[in-house]
Every structure is written in C-alpha cells, then in structure tokens.
A and B are shown apart, each in its own frame.
Chain A
Amino acid sequence: METGARPAFGSASNPAPRDATSSNGKMLEVQDLRVHFRTMDGTVKAVDGVSFDIAPGSSIGIVGESGSGKSVTSLSIMRLIDPPGWIAGGRILFRGKDLTKYSEREMQHIRGDDISMVFQEPMSALNPVYTVGDQVAEVIRVHRDVTRREAMNRTVELFKTVGIPVPERRVRDYPHNLSGGMRQRVMIAMALANEPDLLILDEPTTALDVTIQAQILELVKDLRRDVNTAVLLITHDLGVVAEMSEDVVVMYGGKVMEQATVEQIIKDPKHPYTKGLLASMPSLGMRNQRLNVIAGAVPNPLNMPTGCPFAPRCPYAMDVCATMPELKTLDDGRKVFCWLY
C-alpha cells in the first residue's frame, strides 16, 4: 500500500489547536488507580494501584496476560466500568482534570472527542442495522455542529485516510458487507473522526488473521505520524508492543510490575515476570524444543497473595515479597516494582 498517496489527515477542518497537556507536560496521568468488582464470592481487585502517564503524541503499550487488569485499566480511563465494577480509588488526570470526578454527561463529551477507543472485535462493535458511513458520521455529529452532508464528506475523507478503497461506495455498505480488516479500519476511522488527543487500542488485532494484523498495525503507525495523537495500546503480545510502542507497562495481577522503554524491556528485562514472559516467547530457529513456561498459574483473583502477586511463581521469591515492593526507579529511568533492586 502506498502510504505516501494518502491525503494528509484532517486537512479539511482543523479546529483550533487545543492545549493537550497539563502544566507538567503530561496529557494523561493515571495515579494509584484501583478498580474493584463485586462478585458472589467477594470483591475482586482487578486493578490495584496502577500508575503511569502518557505524554502528548507518545505511544505506550500495556502488556499482560488475561486477568492482569490491562483492559479494565483502559475502560476506566473511558469511565466505561459498569456495575458490579467501580473505580475504588486513585485519580485519572486528563489535561490536569480528574476524570473520575466527571459526571456521565461530561464524560460523553470526552468520549469519542478527546479520548477514543478501538475495540477488540470489529465484527460486533459495529451496529448491524446502519451503514458504516452513517455510524462514523454519527460520531462526528454527536461532537461537532456540522450538517449531515458535511459529516458524510468528512467520513469519506476519513475512509480514504485509513486506506479503505473506493470510500464513496463503502460508506453505504453495512458492516456485514465488509471483511474483518475493513471493519477494523472503519473502527479506526470512527475513533479518529474527531482527532482525539488519546487513542486507546484494546487488542485491536486479536480477532484478525496475521496478514491483516500486520496491515492494521502498519496503518496505526502511519496514522500516528500524521495525526500526532497519543496511542495507548493494550495487548498480550510483546511482539506487537515492540513494533508499535515507545514505552511499555508490564502488568500482572492488577499491578504494574515494570515500566520502561521497549528497548530496555526487550534487551534487558529487570523484573522476574518480564524475564519469564520474554523467555517464553518462541524464537526463529527453535526446533523440537519445548517452549519455556512460567511455572505455576495466575493466582485466583479472589484470593490474591498479599504483597507481590507474582511471588508464588517467582524463582527469586524471598520472604520480603510478602509485602508489595515500593516503586524503584533505576539509573536508566525505568521503573520496577521488585525487591531485587
């Protein structure tokens, strides 16, 4: 695909530039976020004291296995946690203002305008009874005072930007007319419709086959260059993060284990969990070998170990691991939560 042929994004109607940052240069700061779910058997602390921040235009990935709290973290930023779940503590500062204090109505203005999200399943995230063009145009019309025709023109332009061929025709298609990859492009077009400051991608390629995955990731990379939006990528695939992000947050059991640049994580992981993750990845040239695994299983979310959640599976576990380690910032700037350092 010729990326150079694409029209510059948002050339038609660029609203007045918004101040995307708070005073300290961070656009989004998640501070000690706690999200709990009430279940029949007790309270599950799905996210338990997570902190990280995102600078404008930067790219950060959250990696973790199922149940690590990565998706819940992203949904919290959108304030899309439904009962029986709730945000039990912490702050989510967006441009210096705490989103957890916003009313539902105020959040509706933020969602789809300042912060957008692309979901995992492009099959089911589009409404089957409306054309894809109508659905993207609606997002524009919800947030901008434009006519139906203007919104539709903008939609055609967006479709062109995300590499959908013959966009004038495709806007009149229903979701079932499009392939998975095309639908995910539509979802990305929808997410970018109002030029958000932050784009959250929640496992955007999990439901797609490998070649399409590569295309979509390539598209997101290109778009990020053109649009200058910050990207928060949620995935369980270290390879995807390595490809896409500058910084990585590794999560386990609802807590942050390690935060560093992609290079640091790949070349020299510090936290035992990150080491285990990297060691378990198959590499080219591996033949007739068993894959490395991290011994043990993910702890029961109802019965998390006190202290470090990884301790029961950790080869370096010590007595002191029964209390959660404090944040340790190493000389090279990376952040680790581990008693080893």
Chain B
Amino acid sequence: MIDPQHNQQAVLSEELPTPIAGPSAVANRFLTSDNEVTLVQLGQGQLIFRRFRKHRLAMAGAVTLLLLTLMGIFAPLISPEDSLNWNYLASNVPPRLTYPGASDWRYIMGSDANGHSLLMWVTYGARVSLAVGLISAALTMIIAIIVGGTAGYFGGWIDAVVMRITDVFLTLPFLPLLILLSFYISKGSMWLIVLIFGVLSWPGAARLVRGYYLTFRQQEFTEAARAVGVSDTRIIFRHILPNAMSPVIVATTLAVAGFIGAEAAIDFLGVGIKPPTVSWGLSLANSQTYFGEGNWWWALFPGLFLLITTLSINFLGDGLRDALDVRSRR
C-alpha cells in the first residue's frame, strides 16, 4: 500500500484493453476547397488527453480529486467553524439531512464528543491528507529518478553500490521505523512527516526507475545520442527520462494514495499530525474511544473520504497508464 513499487507491480501485471480509437483519434479530416484531403496532426498532449477521456473511471477519479482539492482549498467557505472556533456544547450531534446555508448545515455529518463538527474535520482534514500525499510522492520520485537513473544509466560498480544501499533500505521494516521516526523527529510537523516519507520510500521507486534505465540505455537511440556528443547528464534527464516518464507518472500517482493511507495510519497511532491541525487520520483516532456508544458517524465520514480519495487516485493512475502508453497509439 505504502511502497510505490508494490503498486507498480499491480500496474504492470494487469493489462486493461486499450480504448479503440477511430481515425479521428489520430487526425481530423478536413476537405479543403480543391477537394484535397488534409490531415491535421494532433500534438502528443492532445493524443494523450483523448485517450484519457475515453477512460470513464479515470475521468470520474480525476473530477472527484479536483472536487476534493477544491474542498480543501475552500474549507473556510464550506465549514462554518474551524478547529479553534467551535460550539463545545453541541457534542455528539447525529448527522442530519440539510442544505448549504441552513443554520444547522455544519451538522450535516454530525459532531464529535468535543462539539467539533465532522464537516470541519472532513474539509480541513483534506488539506493535510492531500498535501502530504502529493508532496511526499513528488519527493520520493525526484530522489528515485536521480538515484535510479544514475545507477541504471551508468551500470557497473556505480549501479552495484547504489543498489546495495537500496537493498538495505528495503529491508528496513517500514511501519515500525515510521512510527519511531515520526515520534522522535516529526513532532506533529507536516513537513517533517513528508520528509520522513520521502527518505523511507525512495528505494522501491528507485528500483523501478533503474529497471527502465537499464532497458533504455541498451537502446540504440541512447548510443546514437552518445555518438553525436551528447553528455551523460543530458542523456539521463533529456533523452531517457521522457521515455521512462509514463511508468514514473503512474507510480507517482499510485504512491500518492499510499502516502495518504500511511499518513492516516500514523495519525491514528498518535505519532502524526498534532491538534489543533486536523486530519482524517486524527479524526479516526478520536472516534475509536466512543465507537462502541453508537457514534458511527465519527468514523464513517473521515473513513469514507479516505476511501473515496484513495480509490479516485487509483482510478486516475489506471487511466494515466493507458493514456500515456505510447504503444497504444492509434
């Protein structure tokens, strides 16, 4: 779940059927005045977007994620209260059907034992979850590309040394180490949590990147680039990276889901985000004390949003994989 490499294996093993595209997916036809057929070529980006749009689940995932992001950004507009201003008298209010702008709007998802509305937990909590997921995944991939790319491209003893270090990192037990590091180092800081995620998670992704570089460095176009005097750094980042970008983008996307789950987990264990910052994992952690008393809405709503987010990201990753695959062209 947390290890991006793990996610990637699932990606590689199952092959979704590629959407069948008519000639319109490649070129638009126009009849010019002198009855000549002109083919208008589409750019790479347009082609990718067309393929992506055909993937319904992925589009749904993308739209959902966009809405979730907007929800996080505009949390102050959606939730009438924040984590510091709340009505402590209105505790344990069950969820009710209401509408935005109504006086009881804030209790659409109910409230917890302290009177914090679940609407506040969900909206403000989205900020931490999405930010940690996105930034950690980006950090992981940047480290992975530099380390894995260098090792895979140069090979030989550089590869051997770097990959043995990677192996050592991979043998470390992820969750216990994460709990320890979070407890002693992060002390509730979101940025330090991101850093810990990045440092612990790059090895799997680096292996993935290295694998692609090993293949691409054997390709003739790499040798051809060397034969015209292109430097190694330029070959690594400008010639090979764009070719290896599809799996990297897909792995990054799926890693976001993994990191959101991991962040919720350490919050739940009490070593992650600290109040007054709110997060979905923290809300879940608070809910467990009272769960037996029938306050099901405490756990349901943050959990539901975690589920929706993770699912959307996975759908998005699936769709991106299909859309970015150059071989499915035409």
Contacts and interface: CB of A to CB of B under 8 A. Distances in A.
Partners in one complex: yes
Interface of A: 78, 80, 83, 105, 107-113, 116-117, 119, 121, 124-130, 138-139, 142-143, 172, 174, 176, 187, 190-191, 193
B230 interface: yes
Interface in B223-257: 223-231, 239, 242-243
B221 interface: yes
Residue with the greatest number of chain A CB neighbours at <10 A, chosen from B224, B230, B243, B326 = B224
Given A119-B223, A139-B230, A142-B230, 15 more contacts: A80-B227, A83-B156, A109-B229, A111-B226, A111-B229, A112-B227, A112-B229, A112-B230, A119-B224, A124-B219, A129-B44, A130-B242, A142-B229, A174-B44, A176-B329
A108 B229 contact: yes
Contacts of A143: 229
A176 B220 CA distance: 15
Contacts of B224: 117, 119, 125-126, 187, 190
Contacts of A78: 227
12 contacts: A83-B156, A121-B220, A124-B219, A127-B225, A128-B221, A128-B243, A138-B230, A139-B230, A142-B228, A142-B230, A143-B229, A172-B41
Interface of B: 41, 44, 155-156, 219-221, 223-231, 239, 242-243, 326, 329
Contacts of B226: 80, 111
Contacts of A124: 219-221
A129 B223 contact: no
Chain B interface SS verdict (over half)? helix
Given A121-B220, A126-B221, A176-B329, A111 B231 contact: no
B223 A80 contact: yes
A138 B226 CA distance: 12
A307 B41 CA distance: 61
A111 B227 contact: yes
Contacts of B219: 124
A116 B227 contact: yes
Nearest to A136: B228
Contacts of A105: 231
Contacts of B44: 129, 174
A127 B227 contact: no
Nearest to B230: A142
B229 A113 contact: yes
A179 to B, nearest CB: 16
Contacts of B231: 105, 108
Contacts of A191: 228
Contacts of A121: 220
